[in-house]
Structure 1
């Protein structure tokens, strides 16, 4: 499944007079460690009379250093990029044995290289009190990080804060309120206090509406959305940098597009630079648009696509009929359980109580639609090499002329009810009774 989205990000500063601009640094290009595939990227800057040099900062992030030789009344930046939003498993990593459980100790070489990301910048009473509540008993590192991230998500409410800078950890904890920048920086400091190397990350967040409403929990945004965002990353030997988003309580996925990851927030700001003293009007806009989508189970073909497929199929059928080509077709859809997807019957076993019960429900529904008046047969299906027993087969048979082969569906065995409810006893027939029925039926048929 692939969904390509086009992100457009505009920022403009309009000044009340002609002013000088110092050399500016723009951190608005996806960082080298971005896992979301970027298919296209462009950066446009006004005034058009400028000199631009692409560089990498001391931490490996891309940055554009721009020099403006003339005075201007406006500074405008526009970013366009195309991202492939193929889902990314945030837990798709291996951890070195030395770091499988928290707490762990970095090797001397790692500790030396990670020194900027281990520096503790804040140690106020609110932060100290919060850290006292952290369970530091030994546990798997992934479980520890998940729990820590979700605890901070529960403790700090989210707010939009347009003024520049980052709140101190004390202010964020005292208010129990902060922007994504504030929560991200707080998590960085918490991780460092716990002996884990962490960095502050600024980037884009892309959230797309779900194809279907969630059966449990929130369904997500009601419209596709993107904005500048901030989160934290922690370094775990073997896994590398792992993104944690305390604003949502989730690990970073394909919707998190990092622009810069640095030891402190000031080094990750999207734009830095100076101007002459003046009055300024600030404007920004972020938008995301889907430009390509593969058909998928949760969002299949449109009516127009279905019509084109059916038209082509009818043309093929007509061609086959005209040339007296007689074909049959079979298919084997694979089903998984939404309730117990780890059970053997949905992975390796050919049969199982719930699988068989749901198969009975499905075959009856299919019979009502396609084979009313037909009969059902539950018996031996395919027998694959290497398997001790054949597979089960549930089959429906009916006459194409519409004449009923069976008039009373109530006489069919209700095995599905027994499988779903162990206390249900409507179907307690024996092999002996079945043999007697077959003999009686054969006698009636002659």
Structure 2
């Protein structure tokens, strides 16, 4: 068991005073994270009226309304977390779902419809998915193979441009950020009949060759009856673990933006920083 503190700060600077629209922040950890969240604080400046809400997918969300014009905005999130090693394979898959392919019971499938929508029908993706459509075997073993295949096939790059690449672009270039390969995984899973969703949050890594670290990260989740949602990290090729702290989860990237809001026309810069303290 390890206790850590995470501080995450985002600063926006505007070249003149502007009026900010209502902003929404999905920067609170999910209740069902594999880690234990012992404390969470959210500080936003300038002065605002803050309302805590939940979106339609159950993500906790802060809405801020601003009355005065400003030339800056800053957000600071602090988390106190207890990390205990978990075995992602220690799950009980329902009998009828232990071997792939399988069909969801109708009542389950109806609840999962938003996570079964296929929004990318490119021929490049169709050809890629064809490699997996004929697989028959143990479900968890199949997910391991699929996750590792995408991890090995797509070279990770740190991409600063906003948004997510199309699956076709990711497959043609064989490169992508964590959010690009996660979205590819979501669409592959749906093509083979498995409900999947997009997750965005923090990744805490301790004791690596480069030291301890925390950063924003994205991964995919797949619904397996009995095991519920299983996280697949396409950057590492591993199942998610206690170091993955989800902040927002939904059918696709556009539903889980961590910060949403508009400003009057201006020139703006954004900087961010992380601080991880291992107790």
TM-score normalised by structure 2 residue count: 0.98
1:24-423 alignment, distance < 5 Å: 24-47=23-46, 49-134=47-132, 136-209=134-207, 220-291=208-279
CA-CA distance at 1:136 after TM superposition = 2.6
Partner-residue secondary structure (3-state), 1:224: strand
Offset from partner CA, 1:301-337 (integer Å, 9 cap, x none):
xxxxxxxxxxxxxxxxxxxxxxxxxxxxxxxxxxxxx
Whole-angstrom distance in 2 between the partners of 1:243 and 1:42: 26
**Contact 1:7–1:288 under 8 Å retained in 2:** yes
CA distance in 2, matches of 1:272, 1:39: 26
- More contact order relative to length (CA 8 Å, sep ≥ 6): 2
SS in 1 for 2:211: coil
> 1:183 Cα deviation (Å)?
0.6
CA distance in structure 1 between the aligned counterparts of 2:247 and 2:209, rounded to whole angstroms: 23
For residues 60 and 98 of structure 1, the distance between their equivalents in structure 2, rounded to whole angstroms, comes to 28
Which structure: greater helix fraction? 1
Secondary structure at 1:112's aligned position in 2?
Answer: helix
RMSD, aligned α-carbons = 0.9
Moved over 6 A (4+): none
Distance in 2, matches of 1:30 and 1:137, equals: 36
- What residue in structure 2 maps to residue 5 of structure 1? 4
**How big is each residue's C-alpha offset from its partner over 1:274-318, in whole Å with a ceiling of 9 and x where there is no partner?**
000000111011121102xxxxxxxxxxxxxxxxxxxxxxxxxxx
Instruction: Supply the distance in 1 between the matched residues of 2:161 and 2:273 (Cα, whole angstroms).
Output: 16
Q: Deviation of residue 98 (structure 1)?
A: 1.2
Unpaired segments ≥5 residues, structure 2 = none
CA contact (8 A) 2:133 2:192 kept: no
- Tell me the distance in 1 between the aligned counterparts of 2:240 and 2:256: 17
SS at match of 2:85: coil
Secondary structure, counterpart of 1:119 in structure 2:
coil
Number of positions where the alignment pairs a residue of Structure 1 with one of Structure 2: 279
Distance 1:23 1:238 in 2: 40
Q: Does the Cα contact within 8 Å between 1:206 and 1:256 map onto a contact in 2? A: yes
Alpha carbons 1:32, 1:62 under 8 Å: kept: no
Q: How much has 1:126 moved relative to structure 2? A: 1.4
CA-CA distance at 1:117 after TM superposition: 0.2
In structure 2, C-alpha distance between the alignment counterparts of 1:55 and 1:136, rounded to whole Å = 44
The CA distance in 2 between the partners of 1:55 and 1:98, in whole Å, is 37
Conserved in 2, the CA contact under 8 Å of 1:245 and 1:251? Answer: yes
User: C-alpha displacement at 1:222, in angstroms?
Assistant: 2.0
Higher strand share: 2
Deviation at 1:135, TM superposition (A): 5.4
Unaligned runs of 5+ in 1: 210-219, 292-446
Equivalent-residue separation in structure 1 for 2:135 and 2:22 (angstroms): 50
Q: Does the Cα contact within 8 Å between 2:33 and 2:242 map onto a contact in 1?
A: no
Give yes or no for contact 1:208–1:221 (8 Å, CA) kept in 2: no
Query: What is the CA–CA distance in structure 2 between the aligned matches of 1:248 and 1:21, rounded to whole Å?
Result: 38
Contact (CA 8 Å) 1:32, 1:61: kept in 2 or not? no
Distance in 2 between residues matched to 1:32 and 1:60, nearest whole Å? 10
Task: Give the number of the structure whose alpha-carbon radius of gyration is greater.
Answer: 1
Q: How far apart, CA to CA, are the structure 1 residues paired with 2:119 and 2:215?
A: 28
Question: How far apart, in 2, do the equivalents of 1:77 and 1:164 lie?
Answer: 19
